[in-house]
Structure 1
Amino acid sequence: MTDWEFSSEMAQEHREIDRRIEDFIDGLDSGYVQRAILVETLEMLRRHIYIEEVFVFPPLRAGGAVMPIFVMMREHGQLWHTMDALVDLLDRGKSPAALRNICLQLLDRLHRHNSKEETIIYPTAETALPRHLGTEIDRFAEHGQVPAGWVCQHARQWIIRT
């Protein structure tokens, strides 16, 4: 799939998500809680995770990338719980300082996670995924919706254990 720009498109989405979280933090620092921006950004991140877990990871895991995919999915669970904590803080009207703290935690987790995806997972996906799957991913990225109630695998496992 040398003509597919999966890596650059997904990395660009990483940067957009980071920028939007940073913009939310800047708003907090200026005295504004821009709820809509944060909620939209978290939905964008959840959709990004959905694409990876539903379309990208299964064939890579089947092709032998078991440990890297396990690590990515475990980190998705951690990201998911951090996003849930942010939504909870928003819903309860908690202080901007509390929101800022969790946003910084999310950004830190994203930076560590994204660096692994961009150097290990995405280049592998570009060469290993069948062409038809690239078309499906592109189509979903353009028009698809995450099913209502969907949560990433490691977040589901945590919910079941608690």
Structure 2
Amino acid sequence: MSAGGVPRITLGAALEAEHREIDGGIERFLDTLRQGAPDTESLLRAMGGLRRHIYLEEAFLFPPLKDAGMTMPVFVMLREHGELWRAMDGIDALLGDAQDEDAAGRSAVELLSLLDKHNSKEEPIIYTKADEVLDADASAELRIFLTDGELPDGWVCSGAHT
């Protein structure tokens, strides 16, 4: 319970909420693309949020889960993070100088598909263990980062170049 007796949201629920926000930004881009006025900023914000989300998982969540014996599930998540990261790099290239928004749209649909497959494993397997496995200090550190943490400049996920 938090102050005032209000139940505190679990880490898993907070991380799932980030998933929905990221998906929503990509979907907004796709909706505006179909309407003929693509909002590339929505897509770029969503991808920035996804990169930050991947960082927080790899920096704060996965190490204690791995230490608790969840090595294989964490390995799968890291591999999939690399796939997601490379997909975002591809979209960034399409939105560069040439501004190929149609190709970026096709790639954004693919990114959403990758996210759906990834999240459908991560949420029930990884996130359900977050509050159980993280000690109070690690949990507090992750909660602080969720609130106002930023992706460190130049950070790239561990599987981005495999």
> TM-score scaled by structure 1?
0.91
Contact 2:25 2:45 in 1 (8 A): no
Structure 2 equivalent of residue 84 of structure 1: 89
Contact 1:4 1:126 in 2 (8 A): no
Match of 1:103 among 88, 101, 108: 108
Q: Which runs of 4+ in 1 moved over 2 A?
A: 92-97
Give the letter aligned to residue 28 of structure 1: L
- Which has the larger helix fraction? 1
Distance 1:39 1:97 in 2: 15
Unaligned runs of 5+ in 1: none
Structure 2 equivalent of residue 132 of structure 1: 137
Unaligned runs of 5+ in 2: 1-6
Give the letter aligned to residue 118 of structure 1: E
Q: Displacement of 1:3 after TM fit? A: 5.4
Do residues 145 (structure 1) and 154 (structure 2) align? no
Contact 2:28 2:43 in 1 (8 A): no
Percent identity over the alignment is 42
Moved more, 48-57 or 84-93: 84-93
Structure 2 equivalent of residue 114 of structure 1: 119
Do residues 5 (structure 1) and 40 (structure 2) align? no
Contact 1:76 1:154 in 2 (8 A): yes
Structure 1 equivalent of residue 4 of structure 2: none
Contact 1:4 1:134 in 2 (8 A): no
Change (3 A) 1:28 1:123: same
**What's the RMSD between the two structures over aligned residues?**
1.7
By relative contact order (CA 8 Å, sep 6+), the higher-ranking structure is: 1
SS class of match (2:152): coil
Structure 1 equivalent of residue 41 of structure 2: 36
Work out the number of aligned pairs and report it: 157
Distance 2:102 2:38 in 1: 11
